[in-house]
Amino acid sequence: MQAAIDAGADYLGFVFHAPSPRHLDTSTAAELIQHVPAHVKTVALFVDPDDKALESVLNRMRIDLVQLHGDETPQRAAEIKSKFRSKIIKAIRIGSKADAAAATAYKGIADFILFDAKSPDSAVRGGTGQRFDWDHLRGFDPGMNWFLAGGLTPENVGEALSVLAPDVVDVSSGVESAPGQKDAYKIQKFINAVHDPR
């Protein structure tokens, strides 16, 4: 976390999804988030959360955005946004051009769309290191600001920015030495590549 802050990250993601190797318990997350500067946005990632799961996090620590990475419907996303007064990032998994169209249902509900790779294993939600075919998004306008995720690395993020021009890029496994183990050097290299995408 500190390496990302020092490198100039604009957002920090905290994963609340037990099957993930990046999962944090609420006590650990609450302690860490106390040390996040105000200018860095905190993002809580959930997969199909019920209200109890959301309350256990959102009522306990500073969370600026909620990332919904499951099969949350537009109605459920709107309910979460209203009930918890949270900004919403809705993840859309992309395996074809047709998948991108699902984003339009969240217009006026989500504050951001996040496009990620669709894993062959439907139970896996992000953090796989898999990249999708960026041509699936070429020329597509979701009608709101959007994040690009899915297999981004220090080596390919510059190309991603030039090909698709996302508003934000999201990285996890691409700056790890092993699943769930972030690498400070790779984090710095990634952020350098974002700021100077030659």
Tell me the whole-structure pTM to 2 decimals: 0.92
Using CA atoms, how far apart are residues 12 and 34, in angstroms rounded to an integer? 13
Return the pLDDT at 139: 86
Total Cβ atoms within 10 A of residue 129: 15
Instruction: Give me the sheet containing 87-94, strands edge to edge.
Output: 11-15, 41-46, 65-68, 87-94, 112-117, 146-148, 168-169
Structural domains in the chain?
2-195 (3.20.20.70)
Could you say which DSSP state residue 176 is in? E
Span 104-149, pLDDT tens digits: 999 999 999 999 998 755 454 555 678 899 999 988 889 999 999 9
Helices within the chain (DSSP H only): 2-7, 26-33, 51-58, 74-84, 97-100, 157-164, 184-195
Span 51-104, pLDDT tens digits: 999 999 999 999 999 999 999 999 999 999 999 999 999 999 999 989 999 999
Mean of pLDDT over the chain: 93
